[in-house]
Structure 1
């Protein structure tokens, strides 16, 4: 005879086998579990509308590094912008039409969807970024002082806002920088007749851009962008490019004139409110606790990379950068733009990562052009 313990074990095993077989025959809920959701596929066809003075240069650096590291092909301008401020046209892309479609389009343009669609695949992911006109208007005044006639002729931002029509003339050279710059960059009609036309323009943008980032919440924007693109963690790590030496004073100046700036840039203000609302709706869908956790990890990685890569662990004036390839462009007549100097003694792999993260937009564009087309 079998021992009682073994006999009981055999009975129990028989019961479990019988139950399992019965559930299989009946199609029971315990047997048929839903299959796991398939993992998302990373987007490699991307259109970024780089708006002015919104932190777009840092986003472009992310796109440059992602595409460069994976051998993707960029739609590149013959110089550094696609004929801006004229609307984008496909022939302004180097290598068009023979090389089309491309993988990534991310340099300054005035948006023109039908022409963009000629150079980019149909499954491209479109996104952009906006900024509160209270700070964007002040930043534009200082950065484009030498380019916009309205700013150049005004003694100060305060005097300009007190009587903007005294200095501003519609259509005068460079004055697209002086009023509703976001609206202009999005390629929208710059003098809509009524609120219905404004709402129609915003509806068009909703259909075109699944995601619009918000400059005031830049780190949250990076997290939501990474999620939307299905890119690996760390792929959106970045340093803040094109920061200015007078940022603190400028921010205080802009805050003092906030309501005047929003009123003058009234179309930009409506556009900003619209996309700020959709941004936070997306954040809620993502999960606010999850968003805060990922933002915290993003900031920790950035701080660690800054300590490892950069002299002083942050931006420095251009004259303190010994490598000329890392000195950012300085706008004529505006505040000086800061850049990054690499630490000495970095091992080769780390130096390459740091170099790419620190490289200004114009120099990186030249590098990508050499990769795609060879030396000129």
Structure 2
């Protein structure tokens, strides 16, 4: 087959797929089974295909201006944004990108008290975040549940809402491993507990009340972070309407399986720069069933178990590709450029670390149709290598905003340790005070080894916190910043001044 025919076939396939997607009759999808059947069984394999590496020039697709559309070289950077950090969806890689942008532009971030999540899994309350004198905020990038009404009351009207989603079965595998469900739940097959789970998902107690909210890491977990209520998991009419509303609310939802494409699209829609999008892949861990590919029956069982998550992922996967179609032929040229630059920068940074008293080498990235020229130094590499928590500390230091935390008794207990208790039918812990009041001798059954270990760790956390806060009388306590950041703090702050 000639190159021209191959390209033609690819384009024809893309058009047919897109037409089929747009012609789905959502109004008639009144049952769970019919609604799920309308979704492609392997979402990430059935997007409207465009030959990414094709060098063939094609006629630009006619574009209809949208509210978030920008034109290269004729746009203003969007500096108000909320990034919904969806659990186990690649956010450890993507969150440092948006956090680094907030740092470079000196934007006002809404910080949680302490570290980590902002009230997840609840809607933020007045004493859950660090207030600014004028109560104005530009950016949010910590774990939190999307809530349209609350966020619109705290952020400007022109705020861009962003998020990232992951193919649902891949997300299930990652969640099983991270939350150690393969150890908490009574599986016989420890090498591949997914096969056992998918034979009868309802058999296993995978949901529990955490922080007063019903949470289930195996069922519509990503949809939950996007604000979807657990009790509506079988209400298909509500599900359709909710996804359509998200489509109206969000500027872009990135897709992990197409991360580079998503980042190039993000750059265009936000009018950011190429160097803002550079990243290092993080938290890519190996476990026995990571590469397992489910049978058709197993995938169907998971789609039946987690229908909203599949529908949401499929919808925004298609939406991403539709946006790409609207960009014209140079999108994939920029994609190739971005991949090359990101690889060059990663290679440079892996061999060049800041050295006191020595001249620093520089990697020059020349001007391109999509980017001004810029230089990469080892100091930038240090910044590129920071996780979002370290960047969080650096932003607070740069802006003179102290890290505040609640009194020890009020500090929340995270989801992961809670799962060892709630999935065993025991009550969870909302705060460290609950941990200290807990008397295992009053339990109907004794704690197992892992529960005893978790309880001991939480008790030590409380004792360590009390020692740190001893003598402090304020309602909220200022605590020391991240040690890793403090070591390089002055050097990084000077670099940021020179780089701005």
TM superposition score normalised by structure 1:
0.74
- CA contact under 8 A between 1:141 and 1:151: conserved in structure 2? no
Q: Say how many residue pairs are matched.
A: 304
Q: Secondary structure at the match of 1:235?
A: helix
Matches within 5 A, 1:279-294: 279-287=320-328, 289-294=329-334
1:356 aligns with 2:383: yes
Shift of 1:123: 1.0
RMSD, aligned α-carbons: 2.5
The question of 1:347 aligning with 2:360 is answered yes
Match status 1:366 vs 2:393: yes
Do structure 1's residue 178 and structure 2's residue 218 form an aligned pair? yes
Aligned to 2:91: 56
2:131 to 87, 90, 95: 95
Match of 1:74 among 109, 126, 132: 109
Asked whether 1:253 is paired with 2:292, we answer: yes
Deviation at 1:99, TM superposition (A): 4.3
Are residues 1:162 and 2:199 paired?
yes
Kept in 2, the 8 Å contact 1:88–1:116? The answer is no
CA contact (8 A) 1:76 1:93 kept: yes
1:258 to 1:306, Cα distance in 2 relative to 1, 3 A: farther
Superimposed CA distance per residue, residues 184-213 of structure 1 (whole angstroms, 9 cap, x where no aligned partner) = 001112232532111111122112112111
- Local SS of the residue matching 2:292: helix
Task: Provide the C-alpha distance between the structure 1 equivalents of 2:383 and 2:300, rounded to a whole number of angstroms.
Answer: 39
Please give the alpha-carbon distance, in whole angstroms, between the structure 1 residues aligned to 2:97 and 2:85: 13
Write out per-residue CA displacement over residues 272-313 of structure 1, whole angstroms, 9 at most, x where no aligned residue. Answer: 1111111111010012x32221111111111111111126xx
Q: Structure 1 259/88 Cα, relative in aligned 2: closer, same or farther at 3 Å? A: farther
- List per-residue Cα deviations over 1:156-206 (Å, max 9, x = no partner): 222222222222254344842221111100111223253211111112211
- 1:47 is paired with a residue whose SS is strand
Cross-structure match for 2:339: 299
CA shift in 2, pair 1:260/1:358, >3 Å: farther
Residues 1:343 and 1:370: Cα distance change in structure 2 (over 3 Å): closer
Shift, 1:136, TM fit: 0.7
Query: TM-score, normalization: structure 2?
Result: 0.56
Q: Distance in 2 between matches of 1:280 and 1:109?
A: 27
Distance 2:255 2:224 in 1: 17
CA spacing shift, 1:235–1:171, aligned 2, 3 Å: same
The 8 Å contact of residues 88 and 174 in structure 2, kept in 1 or not, is answered as: yes
When Rg is computed on C-alpha atoms for both structures, the one with the higher figure is: 1
Using the alignment, how far apart are the partners of 1:235 and 1:168 within structure 2?
Answer: 43
User: Is contact 1:135–1:255 with CA below 8 Å preserved after alignment?
Assistant: no
**Contact 1:168–1:175 (CA under 8 A) maintained in structure 2:** no
Structure-1 residue corresponding to 2:445: none
Structure 2: runs of 5+ lacking an equivalent: 1-70, 188-192, 362-375, 404-478, 480-500
SS at match of 2:266: helix
Distance 1:282 1:177, change over 3 A: same
Partners of 2:106 and 2:395 within 8 A in 1:
no
5+ residue gaps, structure 1: 1-35, 312-341
Equivalent pair of 1:132/1:272 in contact (CA under 8 Å): yes
Contact 1:87 1:187 (8 Å CA) reproduced: no
